[in-house]
Structure 1
Amino acid sequence: MYYVYMVRCKDNSLYTGWTTDPKRRAKEHNKGKGAKYTRSRRPVKLVYVEETSTKQEAMKREYAIKQLQKVEKEKICLRWSGGQL
């Protein structure tokens, strides 16, 4: 399985990526081994995960989410968390 995920950074920005293990990936971001974007914005918190069956689907969904405005990303996170951010 492949996953699309979003993490909330210390500055309240959202970073979107894809992985095979979202929890491990969030830990990597917090250790500074993640994307360059998150290195200076630690700590990060996993706020959204979506499962896909293929790497290609995950990459397409990641791209689609990255095209959204922040308010739309926030709505996705809020729905996923059940309104408990």
Structure 2
Amino acid sequence: MFTVRFVRRDKTYKSYAVVQYQVEQGPECISVEMSRTLDGDSCHYEHVGPDEEFEIAYITNINGRTIDVVRQREI
């Protein structure tokens, strides 16, 4: 089980408890696909990037340790 916390520029956030997640780098933003089941049903997507609602996402494991950070690099 993972917790994915998406943080806005004003430091408010939205969190999801998920079983699996996948990150894809796009040209304009990063897409995070999340699922609460192992078979991948009922996926939900959020986007991280300079023109998106969220600027960064933190993924933590069941012990509360941050295991991944998702952010769009500026070129």
The question of a shared fold, defined as TM-score above 0.5 by the shorter chain, is answered with: no
Bigger helix share: 1
TM (norm. structure 1) is 0.35
Bigger strand share: 2
TM (norm. structure 2) is 0.38
